[in-house]
Amino acid sequence: MTGAAKGANVTIYQVAARAGVSPATVSRVMNGARVSAESERLVRAAAAELAFTPNRTARRLRRNHSEVIALIIPDIENPFFTALARGVENRASAGGYSVVLCNTDDDPARESTYIGIALAEHMAGVILAPAGDASDVGRLVAYGRPVVAVDRSLARPGVDAVTVDNRAGGQSAAESLFAAGYTRVACITGPSTVETAQLRVEGWRQARDRHGTGGDELLRYADYRVDGGRAAMADLLALGEPPDAAVVANNLMAAGALDALRDAGLTPPGFGLAVFGDLPFASFTRQGIRVVDLPARELGEAAADLLLGRIAGDDGPARTVVLRTDRSPREKK
């Protein structure tokens, strides 16, 4: 031991001694079981005097579950995920749970490590925004630990998921550009292995086909990151017959795409741009850009609600909640 007044950790036994009752009675008072009014008064007085705080570790050991949930996300620096985290935290703390935020940097190995920790820590449940494709979620399911996938659904029966209607979002993003008079609307999306990236492309295709302007020559797969968006846009602009607008499937790539546009001497709305997800703190750059608002915080809230339900014992079949994106993307001021 290092410090001086370290301990000061009052135990239930000390409270019991002070109140002149047994530890069992103290526990009953603290947990709302039947106790005589007199005992309760004594215990509460003693607890207050000693500033007793129950040791959660001991409680957890006995009860065999914790009041902590893990939130595993691929990128803590992406505002979409921090907003999502905030949603989770709001709901979780309202329900008496703490949230441990785990950042995987899109690395399946780190994701796997965190899943292992969640198991070893006996955390109550896990909310997972899957990093790669093959998420190592089997272990959680095998041990019967509640899991909710968020943002992307896991191709795994029995796991709840909360997503947005990416296809509809992609379609309305593209439609809004066509409606504004653009004719060659490109699409920059995420990795082809990622569900959200594919669905957003599909929405774009639907709008494109309706307006009959060619095939996939204006489609680019990138990596959901700034540099990827920049490269993809540069590539599109170098085409013999370049696009005059683009749907960009996430906020980070849009930042890169704007870079590339600027380098080519273009800016919205001269070049039409519709983006999935907002870039907070950048209102001054949103001019002329159509933003499909993603309900990031609501995603987190819905996922947390679902998870807390499972933890509370909800045994029903797996559900997938799909939230609506903003169907009428408008230019921001």
Partner DNA sequence: GCTATTGACGAAATCGATTTCTTAGACTTC
Partner DNA sequence: GAAGTCTAAGAAATCGATTTCGTCAATAGC
Q: Does 119 bind DNA (CB under 7 A)?
A: no
Question: Nearest approach, Cβ of 41 to DNA (angstroms)?
Answer: 10
Q: What is the DSSP string of 216-252?
A: GGGEEE--SSHHHHHHHHHHHHTSSS--SEEEESSHH
> Among candidates 237, 239, 243, 230, which has minimal Cα distance to 204?
243
Q: Does 60 bind a second copy (CB under 8 A)?
A: yes
14: left (phi over 0), alpha (psi -120 to 50) or beta: alpha
Question: Nearest approach, Cβ of 131 to a second copy (angstroms)?
Answer: 16
Interaction residues for a second copy, span 130-159 (CB under 8 A): 142-144
How crowded is residue 304: how many other Cβ atoms within 10 Å of its Cβ? 29
The one of a second copy, DNA, none whose footprint includes residue 39, by CB under 5 to 8 A per kind, is DNA
Residues 100, 85: Cα–Cα separation, whole Å: 10
Q: Which is nearer to DNA, 47 or 258 (CB)?
A: 47
Question: Nearest approach, Cβ of 73 to DNA (angstroms)?
Answer: 29
Q: Does 86 bind a second copy (CB under 8 A)?
A: yes
Question: Nearest approach, Cβ of 51 to DNA (angstroms)?
Answer: 12
Residues 267, 261: contact at Cβ < 8 Å? yes
Question: Nearest approach, Cβ of 143 to a second copy (angstroms)?
Answer: 5
Q: Which amino acid is at 14?
A: Q
Residues 228, 269: Cα–Cα separation, whole Å: 22
Question: Pick from 17, 44, 50, 59: which binds DNA (CB under 7 A)?
Answer: 59
Q: What is the DSSP string of 183-222?
A: --EEEEE--TTSHHHHHHHHHHHHHHHHHT--SGGGEEE-
Q: Does 262 bind DNA (CB under 7 A)?
A: no
Binding mask 11-40 toward DNA (x if CB under 7 A, else -) reads: xxx------xxxxxxxxx-xx--xxx-xx-
Q: Which residues bind a second copy (CB under 8 A)?
A: 2-9, 53-58, 60-61, 66, 68, 76-77, 79, 82-83, 85-86, 89, 98-101, 103, 116-117, 119-122, 142-144, 226, 251-252, 255, 258-259, 262, 279-285, 310, 313-315
